[in-house]
Copies of this chain bind each other. A is one copy, B any other.
Amino acid sequence: MELSVTAPALPRDPGAVGPVAARAAFRSGLAVPTAGWSRGYAQANLIIVPKDLAFDMLLFAQRNPKPCPILGVLDAGETTGPLLAGGDIRTDVPRYIVYVDGEKVAEPTDITGYWRDDLVTFIVGCSFTFESALQAGGISIAHIDQGVNVPMYRTNRRYTSAGSLDGRMVVSMRPIPAAQVADAVRITSRYPAVHGAPVHVGDPRELGIADLGKPDFGDAVRIPDGHLPVFWACGVTPQAAVMESRPALAIGHAPGHMLITDARDTDYLVP
């Protein structure tokens, strides 16, 4: 319903669209998930909070770097920065979620109407960055192959709190063949700025996940025989933490509708 009648058409190969053009398309009203867009460029989670919550948010991220790897921060009121050259954080993400007192009140494609000069923007790493490295390492990604969003689950693990921010760990899950689990650990551990190595391999019940078929965010995927569920810390965690602390206003991206940055995936590769 928010789509403008002039919204641009979906490009034939979104992977070939560069980040500047991708942001321009979303700015013009295209509201689609960004998986597969702008191959080689880092996509990012978004969490925007008022300045009086910004220290707690940054400290929460420092204390919980696996779920909350901060790639960039825009100062209070700033709407652009080095990760989105020439862009506008209020319009360049395909879809946002607006929270008031911790409750979702809207999922707009543009947050210009909600903008305030005291809003601080946190750009948070996303596991999409290491998925292409996994694929290059010969590991197939079930949710990509099945054409759905990655399944994400709330767990029973609490994170280290910071001021008013607290929360339970949210994880993304990818089924990995037993013979490739070690490779998946090795490859993703080289990307510590985008969640890094898995937090858990195997039994989901230990994380308090009763049914892998019912993710809290994203879509369920089939787990083929001989595959183990492998869990990575997830960039939805800051949104979950913000919701628990019920601030007057907070804005995030809609799941799967990420900010496409000018940084390359390989910028976050170590060593």
Q: Which residues of A contact B (CB under 8 A)?
A: 54-55, 58-59, 61-63, 70, 73, 75, 163, 186, 189-190, 192, 196-197, 270-271
The reply to whether A75 and B270 contact each other, CB–CB distance below 8 Å, is no
Q: Which 3 A-B pairs have the closest CB atoms?
A: A189-B271, A55-B55, A58-B58
In the assembled complex, 13 residue pairs joining A and B whose CB atoms fall closer than 8 Å, in A order, are: A55-B58, A58-B58, A59-B73, A61-B62, A62-B70, A62-B73, A186-B271, A189-B270, A190-B270, A192-B271, A197-B271, A270-B270, A271-B271
Q: Output the least CB separation between A39 and chain B (Å).
A: 24
Partner of A62, one of B58, B63, B186, B192: B58
Q: Which residues of B contact A196 (CB under 8 A)?
A: 270-271
Cα A95 to Cα B75 in complex, Å, equals 35
CA distance A59 to B270 in the complex (A): 22
For A189, the chain B residues whose CB sits under 8 A away are 270-271
Residues of B with C-beta under 8 A to A59: 58, 73
A270 and B61 CA atoms in complex are apart in Å by 19
Using Cβ atoms and an 8 Å threshold, which residues of chain B touch A271? 186, 189-190, 192, 196-197, 270-271
Contacts of A186 in B (CB 8 A): 271
Given contacts A271-B186, A271-B190, contact A63 B55 (CB under 8 A): no
Residues on B with C-beta less than 8 A from A61 are: 62
Residue of B whose beta carbon sits closest to that of A63: B73
User: Which residue of B has the minimal Cβ distance to A160?
Assistant: B82
Most chain B CB inside 10 Å of its own CB: which residue of A61, A189, A270: A270
- Bound CA–CA A192/B191 (angstroms): 11
Task: List, in ascending order, chain B residues with CB within 8 A of A55's CB.
Answer: 54-55, 58
Min Cβ gap A50→B in Å is 12
